[in-house]
Amino acid sequence: MGRSQWGQSHSRTLSSLTDTEVEQIAAILERLSQPFIDQEVEVGLANGPLILDGDLTPRPVSNGSQTYPEAEYGHMNDRLQLGYQAAIVSLSSPTYGRIGLSARQHSGKTVSATQAEELALEAERRLGRRPLRRTDLLAQRIEQMLPQGQKLSGKVGEAQQGWAEAQAAQAEVAGQLAQALQELSALEAEYAKKQRMERPQSYLSKARQRVEIYQRRLERRIRSIDKAQQWLARQQDNYSAWATHKAALEERLQHFQAENAANPAPIEAIFRLDAGFGTQENLALLIEMGYEIYSKPFGNWLSGLLAEKSTDPQDWQRVGANAEMKAWKAAALPDFPYPLDLGALRFWQGHSYRNSALLHFGQQQVCADLPAWFHDYNARQLIEAGNKEANQVFEIRHLKVRSRPALHLQEHFALFAANFVRFAALWLAQQCPQVPDGWKNSAQPQVKNQVKVGAHAPALVEWLGQDCLVRFSDRSVFAGRSFTVRRQLAIQLTLPWKFADFSPI
């Protein structure tokens, strides 16, 4: 059966898959991976904070396709494309280099700015651990909001007073108009009875002019009421938005206090995110959740401030081959509740500079070592390499299924496969000294080489009791290599001490 036919058959087979079945399969895959994740958490914490990377990566499909459910247009690979977005979070692993923690598929129009909290919560779910929430900072943030609330409340009061005055002025003019109309009516009756002519300076003419004046004045008063009412509505909306935000923060504080009370062993963790996640609200939330943050500002936020701060041509420090940087420690920002370490970057391209920026919050003194800060942030290329690996090695870019549950299952399988190859590579290197040299470094296990080359290399399999011997043939790129695979495998889990046997399927 050809590749295309196999893909069509595969899609038809999974078309009846349900969401419940996907959840059950995903739970099994997570249970298989969990002992390795738990072990790496302990290893990572022994060496410092855990390092998490989050990203939103595209899953484009043909723009003319009408068979992918819930596919929507969004920005993918610097262009507008039909498809999906996958929210990915991974753990930097001393042993395996990278472990994928979660991959959740969303519609194509999903943007990074909406996914920061979900990524953090997904990471905490898989790790089974979380940092201590910074309830002290959050409480101070709420306290610092009170003067603004008083100011907004005062503006509401002023607007209400203005509206009341406009209503009173309108009522006064309306009364004057009514009296003027009454006088005009009486004069018209008198002039008609006596058959008198209306002259320009007559009482009747002047009465008619007074009516016209009051009518125009009443129209102005009505417009003033409309403006006063609109201004009042805006002030009420501003105060309502403040009150809603304050209530949400107070609810968050109560939730975080409960989480801290139920967290006897908090961890320290770093979260690295690109500029798409770097909104003010996302950064503030992640800081309050207890993370040390490495990111970039979203959109043009801080671009003007950094441009103003960077006018001095001095103090630029080389941090990369074509990159220079200057920084400001714990800068207080007018539109952000917490001080941030700010870094201005410029890259020499051709005959001009391209500007960028870095943000940091945490205990690390990043401003004292700018090259290290630059390197530590750019190390998040680890997750970008994972996205590339998922596309090229595990072919997640080829969506071979057409049902929503099956699409979600493909994400789960791709995540598990990338992790499994790393887990297996370490075991293989430990058990079989003759594996190819490039496979022995578990932190850089050459996944593409193992999957695309090793898995397709011709070999002879011989069973030796409970074990088997794999010999690569002379026609293989691994000619002369062999390794033994034992059928029983025991893995020591983290505390409490348990053992698990993995038997062949």
Pick the CATH number of 139-259 from 2.30.29, 1.10.150, 3.40.50, 1.10.287: 1.10.287
- The full set of domain ranges for the chain reads 1-132+265-273+380-431, 139-259
* 179 and 262 Cβ atoms separated by less than 8 Å: no
User: CB-based contacts of 347: which residues, under 8 Å, 6+ apart?
Assistant: 322, 323, 353, 354, 355, 356
Determine the pLDDT at residue 3. 45
CA-based Rg of the chain, rounded to a whole angstrom? 34
Determine the pLDDT at residue 434. 67
Determine the pLDDT at residue 69. 87
Determine the pLDDT at residue 499. 37
Identity at 231, one-letter amino acid code: W
pLDDT tens, N- to C-terminus, the chain (505 residues):
444 444 444 566 677 788 899 999 999 999 999 999 999 999 999 989 999 999 999 888 888 888 888 889 998 888 899 999 999 999 999 899 899 999 999 999 999 999 999 999 999 999 999 999 999 999 999 999 999 999 999 999 999 999 999 999 999 999 999 999 999 999 889 888 888 888 888 888 999 999 999 999 999 999 999 999 999 999 999 999 999 999 999 999 999 999 999 999 999 999 999 999 999 999 999 999 999 999 999 999 999 999 888 888 778 999 988 899 999 999 999 999 999 999 999 998 877 888 999 999 999 999 999 999 999 999 988 888 777 777 777 766 667 777 888 888 888 988 998 898 888 888 877 777 667 776 777 777 777 777 777 777 888 888 888 888 888 888 877 787 777 777 655 555 444 433 344 333 3
Determine the pLDDT at residue 466. 81
Q: Tell me the β-bridge partners of 317.
A: 325
Chain center to CA of 246: 22
Separation between Cα atoms, residue 59 and residue 456, nearest integer Å: 26
Separation between Cα atoms, residue 471 and residue 480, nearest integer Å: 7
* 260 and 133 Cβ atoms separated by less than 8 Å: yes
Determine the pLDDT at residue 316. 92
Determine the pLDDT at residue 468. 83
Separation between Cα atoms, residue 293 and residue 382, nearest integer Å: 16
Separation between Cα atoms, residue 454 and residue 169, nearest integer Å: 88
SS3 268: coil
DSSP structure string for 308-330:
HHTTSSS--EE-SSSEEEEEEEE
- Supply angle C-alpha 394, 400, 406, rounded to 5: 95
Backbone phi and psi for residue 224, each to the nearest 5 degrees, phi listed first:
-65, -40
Chain center to CA of 298: 11
